């Protein structure tokens, strides 16, 4: 009887909640980099091909930055939900 009481006490003490402090995760460094500046066409430039090169480069920069922001927002929302579930 004593041994079963000791086992029960050990089992219950092992199941006790241990208070832990959880911090919200840090933002990855890759998501904290600013977006690149858009290029401007030189005033001296008269070739349409050069205008198009700059326009294409600006579109590329915009969509890269847009994707980065969207991925960050997704990461943040998912991580925040996980954090809320774990800290309850």
Task: Tell me how many domains the chain contains.
Answer: 1
State which residues form the domain around 83: 24-87
Q: In 1-88, which ranges are continuous DSSP H helix? A: 2-14, 48-87
pLDDT in tens, 9-20: 656 665 555 656
pLDDT, tens digit, 9 for 90 and up, residues 24-80? 777 778 778 888 898 888 888 788 899 999 999 999 999 999 998 998 899 889 988
Where is pLDDT greater, at 1 or 74? 74
Question: Residue 78 falls within a domain, yes or no?
Answer: yes
Q: Does any domain span residue 42?
A: yes
Please check whether residue 47 lies inside any domain of the structure. Answer: yes
- 14 within a domain of the structure (yes/no): no
Any domain includes 7: no
Q: CA 45, CA 41: separation in Å to the nearest integer?
A: 7
Is the confidence at residue 6, as pLDDT, over 90?
Answer: no
Q: How many CB atoms sit inside 10 A of residue 15's CB?
A: 7
Report yes or no on 32 lying in a domain.
Answer: yes
């Amino acid at each position: 009887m004593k041994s079963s009481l000791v086992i029960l006490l050990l089992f219950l003490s092992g199941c006790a909640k241990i208070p832990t402090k959880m911090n919200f995760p840090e933002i990855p460094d890759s998501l904290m980099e600013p977006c690149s500046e858009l290029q401007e066409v030189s005033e001296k430039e008269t070739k349409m091909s050069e205008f198009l090169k700059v326009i294409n480069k600006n579109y590329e920069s915009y969509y890269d930055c847009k994707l980065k922001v969207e991925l960050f927002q997704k990461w943040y929302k998912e991580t925040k939900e996980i954090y809320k579930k774990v800290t309850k």
